[in-house]
């Protein structure tokens, strides 16, 4: 560009400004062309406007759109996978053919066990009914089959254990049936209830699992609340939000606080009285512990004096002492339990002998493999005894002699007298 300044012609730098003007004109032309090309599409439905936006976005950058699409696919897949695989704790929702086969086998085993238990219970009821009709008690082998008057500690323990085991078997049968119905999806014991989810309808394993899960969840909730509220110690939470850890810490801190307060009082009393005050003189946990120890020591000292009065000839047991301490009470309870257990086992041994006499396999109407084995074993054992008895009798006969005439006359007189009578 040529300029005249002071009668002289000078050249001004105009390359950069011309370039900017040309760029502006080019961009304006492109925008006008684009608007004119898309103008018919503005008049229409909503889909046409969406197409315009899509075309504009495409013209701005197809790469960004493809990246967004690629990023959205994994999120959709993860959402579907989360919906398809909900944990609900330990529950897995994927089907497992191995688990399905195992559940079917467990279901067959459950049906066999239930049938076996029912048959045994029915046979036992029949035996008890027949024994009552005859005015006697049915013989038994297991401690739990004893009558209510004769049952002992082992019988009660076995009865409770068998009832618990039957509940577990029923629970596992329900769980196996539910797994088969769902086609191999794992069912936790706490989810296999007989009714609409009440804890009373759960089996023993379900109740245990539910309590453990509730315990862990309560710990998680309390720790989450403690983190939110920024409380340092678990026991400092509110009573409604405090979990098992907080309750345990609260009990421990209360016990320690009680011990510390009692010890402070004891120290003050010792300072006031100018002497040592024992923990037993101040109410507190240490005082109760010292009282229990002193009770045992006094009872043992009294028992020692009683033994010395008897010149040491007979040792006085703690339960036989005049002053029974904790050891005497404990020994008396243990002795009573052992006595009951001994009586129970003696009664059971007598009933086992009766049962074996009444139910020997070799004397049953229907022959069995056990009966044949017993017959052979008894025959093998009795054969030498029978041979020995036969040989001894033959030996006695061979060693016998003829009777004297006097003995013969006496024998004939006795025979005639018996005939006259």
In the chain, the percentage of residues whose pLDDT exceeds 70 is: 74
Please check the confidence at residue 7 and state whether its pLDDT lies above 60.
no
- The residue ranges of every structural domain in the chain are 19-59, 87-187
pLDDT for position 153: 87
| pLDDT of 62 over the 60 cut | no
Backbone angles phi, psi at 386, to 5 degrees: -65, -45
Higher pLDDT, 222 or 39: 222
pLDDT at 195: 54
The tens digit of pLDDT for each residue in 143-174 reads 888 888 788 888 889 999 999 998 899 888 88
Helix, strand and coil in the chain, % to nearest 5: 75, 0, 25
- H or E element in which residue 210 lies: helix 204-229
**Which residue carries 């005859």 as its tokens?**
134
> What is the pLDDT of the chain when averaged over all its residues?
76
CA-wise closest residue to 152 among 339, 311, 288: 339
Which pLDDT value is given to residue 309?
A: 80
Q: For residue 116, what pLDDT is reported?
A: 87
What ranges make up the beta strands (E) of 199-281?
A: none
Q: What is the pLDDT of residue 301?
A: 87
- Model confidence band, residue 366 (pLDDT cutoffs 50, 70, 90): low
Which letter does DSSP use for residue 150 in this model? Answer: T
Whether 191 contacts 91, CB under 8 Å: yes
Look up the pTM and report it: 0.56
CA–CA dist 76, 82 (Å, integer) = 10
Cα(91)–Cα(64) distance, integer angstroms: 41
Per-residue model confidence as pLDDT tens digits over 196-237: 544 557 888 988 999 999 999 999 998 998 888 888 888 888
- Residue 193: helix, strand or coil by DSSP? coil
Q: Cα 163–168–171 angle (5° rounding)?
A: 125
What is residue 312's predicted lDDT score, i.e. its pLDDT?
Answer: 62
């Amino acid at each position: 560009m040529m300029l005249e300044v002071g009668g002289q012609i000078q050249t001004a730098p105009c390359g950069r400004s011309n370039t900017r003007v040309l760029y502006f004109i080019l961009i304006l032309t492109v925008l006008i062309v684009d608007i004119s090309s898309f103008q018919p599409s503005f008049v229409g439905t909503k889909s046409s406007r969406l197409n315009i936006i899509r075309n504009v976005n495409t013209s701005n950058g197809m790469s960004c759109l493809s990246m967004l699409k690629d990023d959205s696919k994994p999120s959709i897949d993860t959402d579907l996978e989360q919906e398809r695989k909900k944990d609900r704790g330990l529950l897995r929702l994927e089907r497992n053919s191995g688990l399905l086969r195992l559940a079917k086998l467990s279901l067959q085993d459950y049906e066999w066990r239930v049938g076996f238990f029912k048959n045994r219970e029915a046979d036992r009821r029949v035996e008890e009914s027949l024994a009552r009709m005859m005015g006697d008690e049915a013989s038994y082998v297991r401690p739990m089959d004893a009558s209510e008057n004769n049952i002992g500690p082992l019988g009660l323990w076995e009865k409770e254990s068998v009832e618990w085991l039957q509940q577990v078997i029923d629970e596992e049968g329900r769980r196996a049936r539910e797994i088969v119905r769902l086609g191999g999806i794992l069912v936790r014991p706490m989810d296999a209830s007989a009714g609409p989810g009440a804890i009373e309808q759960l089996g023993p394993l379900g109740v245990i699992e539910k309590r453990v899960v509730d315990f862990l969840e309560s710990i998680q909730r309390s720790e989450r609340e403690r983190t939110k509220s920024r409380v340092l110690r678990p026991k400092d939470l509110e009573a409604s939000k405090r979990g098992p850890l907080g309750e345990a810490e609260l009990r421990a801190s209360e016990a320690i606080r009680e011990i510390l307060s009692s010890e402070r009082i004891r120290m003050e009393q010792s300072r006031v009285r100018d002497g040592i005050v024992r923990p037993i003189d101040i109410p507190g946990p240490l005082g109760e512990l010292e009282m229990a120890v002193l009770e045992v020591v006094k009872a043992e000292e009294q028992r020692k004096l009683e033994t010395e009065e008897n010149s040491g000839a007979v040792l006085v047991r703690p339960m036989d002492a005049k002053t029974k301490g904790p050891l005497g009470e404990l020994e008396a309870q243990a002795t009573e339990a052992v006595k009951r257990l001994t009586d129970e086992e003696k009664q059971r041994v007598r009933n086992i002998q009766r049962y074996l006499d009444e139910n020997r396999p070799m004397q049953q109407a229907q022959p069995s493999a056990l009966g044949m084995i017993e017959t052979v074993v008894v025959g093998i054992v009795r054969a030498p005894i029978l041979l020995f008895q036969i040989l001894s009798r033959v030996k006695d006969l061979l060693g016998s002699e003829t009777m004297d005439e006097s003995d013969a006359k006496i024998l004939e007189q006795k025979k005639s007298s018996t005939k006259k009578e």
